[in-house]
Chains A and B, each alone.
Chain A
Amino acid sequence: MPRPSPEAPSPEPRVTLLDGLIKYAVPLLGVVGAVLFGTLRLAYVFFYQPLRATPEEVGYGYLEVLSSQLAGTVELVLLLTTVLMATALGATALRHTAGGRWRAALAAPSRAALTRLARRCALAALIVVLALLPVLAWLFGTEARHGSAVRNIYLLRFVRIPVLAVQASPATVTWTAPSRPGLPEMSGCLLYLGQSGGITVFYDVADQESIRVPSVQIMVNLPYAEAVPATCVPADR
């Protein structure tokens, strides 16, 4: 009975798609997720900073930020990519027209050129969106500090996907626990920011302070209001 030769080459291990995903895609996704979270969290930090709170205090951790922000960010990037591509194609056509190259001006770009352009525009759009989101968040944070309701900001005239899923809603708060000495009165100028770990966080527009209250001891009403009462806004703003 012939014995297999010890020098015979063993067959190459077959790399499956699943192996490739585990080896490359999963770590890559993790890194991309962490980078994305870091950048998007910055927007949340900038929004809640004028309101004297942090994203974590109002319930925005890693998963919450990514899950609530991803769709809106993708929407903004796609929108900006489209605008950039249209601008680039229009500029190219204008350049050809100015040079008298009418056929080139009217010719459709090759598929490879279009793909390359789309990739570049998407990258540029992503960078612009990630850079501008914190600015937008800071502007809306300032609006909220002055008493305006800011909640799930979306682009007008588009699908109502939140491009910034933050919250500062006018709220009326009452104690449900029996009254005890030392229990502070709840102001009528509160913005509800969120809750985490059994603590609800509010921003008092009149006093310009944030307040933390045990969630089980209060009843929160969020009326359909665009702002806190005008009397809450400090006169010096």
Chain B
Amino acid sequence: MPVRLSSRRVLALVVAPMLAVAAGVPALAAPASPEPGRHRPSWLWRWFGVALPSSTCDDPVPVGKAAPTIRVERLASLQFCFTGFAPGDEPRLHLPTPDGGSTEWPGRRHGNVWTWSWETEDVATVLPRPGTYRFRVTAPHSPTGTGRIVVRPASRPHAIFTENLLFGSTVTATAVGYRPGAPILASVYSNRQGERLRLIEDLPPVIADRFGEGIVRWSVPFSPAPEGYMLLLEPIDPNNPNECFQDLCAGIGGDY
């Protein structure tokens, strides 16, 4: 019987853009900071704070009066908002699915502005391929809003896991942002905190499709390694070996 894994306890898979060529050759330091890539001088942020915007959406589009075209990069988070709904209305967003169906999404209200937003992992499900998605926003007592979401191929390497991780099963990671036809090289390492990574396995190369995307597959062993695993994709960035750490861990279990 398959056991669902918690990323914190057993299995940690991290896909990271890297600069080095040969997977397994460089031994990378495991992440020490929970938020890599941030170099805040500690004294500055110990004394000063920033007032982040309380409003989640500026310049909302009046529903029914404009049909916005929202352009977003593949696997980037997405947010947009509409205003002008009748009081009491609870608008819903209708998005087409690849099989010709449609999905419905309730919005979040902030005053008289309704917002729809998806984080990276959700976007991969909602907008599964690059292309144009025509959407409608409907509410019983308000005009219908329409618009398009144009998902363009990613401009830089990025990857997320598209399903839950199970012992003994095959997990897949969607890698985007490569040149069409380019090989996507991935390797599995042990994920030892505070120690150097140990190569477990080089995965067979995957050729990027016409959008520069590919699916990397890895069969998870039945017995979990106590230190967990980390999946690294080329190109390796020695300065930032785990810059996708949080994204991916959220994609695995959402509890990191």
Contacts and interface: CB of A to CB of B under 8 A. Distances in A.
Contact of A221 (B36, B73, B80): B80
Contacts of B60: 219
B239 A236 contact: yes
B61 A231 contact: no
Contacts of B61: 176, 219
User: Nearest 7 pairs between A and B by C-beta?
Assistant: A152-B51, A188-B76, A230-B37, A174-B70, A222-B53, A230-B243, A235-B237
Contacts of A148: 38, 40
B198 interface: no
A227 B36 CA distance: 12
Nearest to A218: B59
B117 A235 contact: no
A222 B49 contact: no
Contact of B47 (A143, A155, A169, A227): A155
B68 A176 contact: yes
A224 B53 contact: yes
Interface of A: 136, 139-140, 143, 146-156, 160, 162-163, 169, 172, 174-176, 178-179, 185-188, 206, 218-227, 229-231, 233, 235-237
B48 A151 contact: no
Interface residues of B, number: 52
Contacts of A219: 58-61, 68, 70, 80-81
Contact of B72 (A188, A206, A227): A188
A160 B58 contact: no
B101 interface: no
A152 B53 CA distance: 10
Given A156-B46, A231-B156, A151 B71 contact: no
B152 to A, nearest CB: 6
B77 interface: yes
A150 B40 CA distance: 12
Nearest to A162: B51
Interface string B74-97: 001111110000000000000000
Interface string B40-59: 11001011111111111111
Contacts of B58: 219-222
Contacts of B57: 221-222
B225 to A, nearest CB: 26
B244 A231 contact: yes
Contacts of B179: none
B214 interface: no
A230 B244 contact: yes
B178 to A, nearest CB: 14
Contacts of A140: 44, 48
Contacts of A237: 39, 239
Nearest to B243: A230
Contacts of B19: 235
A70 to B, nearest CB: 17
B113 to A, nearest CB: 10
B204 to A, nearest CB: 25
B174 interface: no
A149 B158 contact: no
B37 to A, nearest CB: 4
A199 to B, nearest CB: 14
B79 A153 contact: no
Given A151-B50, A188-B72, A146 B41 contact: no
B66 A176 contact: yes
Given A172-B79, A230-B35, 16 more contacts: A139-B44, A153-B50, A154-B51, A160-B51, A163-B48, A174-B70, A175-B68, A179-B150, A188-B77, A219-B58, A221-B58, A227-B38, A229-B76, A230-B38, A231-B158, A235-B19
B59 A220 contact: yes
A151 B53 contact: yes
A160 B40 CA distance: 21
